[in-house]
Each structure stands twice: as structure tokens, then as C-alpha cells.
Amino acid sequence: MEEPAESLRSDQVDLRRWRMSDLGALERAIHESLDHLVPWMPWAADPGRRQTAEFLARSHETWETGADYSYAIISDAEVIGSCSLMRRIGAGGLEIGYWIHPARTGRGLVTMAVAGLVDAGFQLDGVDRIEIHHDAANHASGAVARRSGFTEIGREPAPEGPLTSGESGIDVIWRMTADEWRSRTARTTAARRTH
């Protein structure tokens, strides 16, 4: 199965496939981000070295099977978050997930990471759409989707209901099609040539 590159550069962030040697850096980033993550990420309610090591091992396995491509978000040579391309929305689709250290929010770094994932995702054969799903109460995730050029296509009850203290139980779904991405990329390329 075709897979994206293990390392991507997107403006001011590097995305690199997770490695077991990232355990300490990831554990530190999670613990420093708990107040920021617990309202939205069910896994953050029970962080620990074992769970973090299991995530890294699972990331390796799901990369190899093509189910999920998870990356460390790196800025200034420091692990500041995580992002993924996931094959869980049906044939031809990829879903993007992300989180970032709260000290690094507000700088557009997640938007840069999403741009890198979108570019890599649409280079894979057969991918015709990429989506971002988030809880309706998570306005920061919605802002990233909007800034990244995604279009909101719907809201629906979360299958399991709210799983964390911050969630409303309503999922917002954003989509970008391959045609929209190609058009956006062409406009950006043309704008660079005129400057």
C-alpha cells in the first residue's frame, strides 16, 4: 500500500513519523498539555508512560498496515504536538486529527501542520476527500479547519455521546475535496509567481 513520506516540512513546522525514541519528549508534551487536552481527548484522562509507549507502538503498527499515519509536530527542534492522517471515513477518504502544546497555540502552527497533511494525503492514490471531525464545543479545532480551507458539511450526534468534560456530543464535520485542493494549490502557486 502506498504511504506518505515519513518526514514532511510545512512552513515553520516539521512533521515526522513517531518513533519509540520519542517516548520522553511525547510524555513531557502530554503532561504539560493535560489541562488543554483533557476536555477534548478521552485518552488524556489517563496519561502515563505505559499508555504513551502503547500509543507509539500502535502508531508504528497502524502506519505499517496503512490504517493511520501519525506524526510528531516539531518546531524549533522540540516535539510540540501530534497529528495524523487516518483511514476511518470510508473508501477515498482520510480524516485529520491534531493537538498542540498550549504554549504554542495562536501561532498558526497547527494550521501549518494540517496543510502538510492535506498535501501529503492528496498525493496518495485514490484519495478524493479529507475531513476534520471535532466536537462542536471545541472552537479552536473548528478555527483550524476554517483557516485551512475546509468547508463545514454537517453536524451530527456523536455515536457514543460526549466522552469528555468539554464535549457537547455533537460532531462537526469539515471537508476538502481533491478538486478544491488542486484549485487552491494552483492559486497559491500563481500568486507566488506574480510576487
Mean per-residue pLDDT of the chain:
93
Answer yes or no: are the C-beta atoms of 103 and 32 closer than 8 Å: yes
Mean pLDDT of 141-146: 96
> Cα(40)–Cα(160) distance, rounded to whole angstroms?
14
Domains and CATH numbers, the chain: 7-194 (3.40.630.30)
CA 111 to chain centre: 9
pLDDT of 195 > 90? The answer is: no
What local confidence, expressed as pLDDT, does residue 37 receive?
Answer: 93
Look-up of cell digits 482520510: 94
Residue 108 DSSP label: S
- Confidence band for 191, pLDDT divided at 50, 70 and 90: low
Place 47 in a pLDDT band, splitting at 50, 70 and 90. Answer: confident
Question: Dmax over Cα atoms in the chain, in whole Å?
Answer: 52
* pTM over the 0.85 mark: yes
pLDDT at 46: 82
What percent of the chain shows pLDDT beyond 90? 83
Stretch 54-81: mean pLDDT: 96
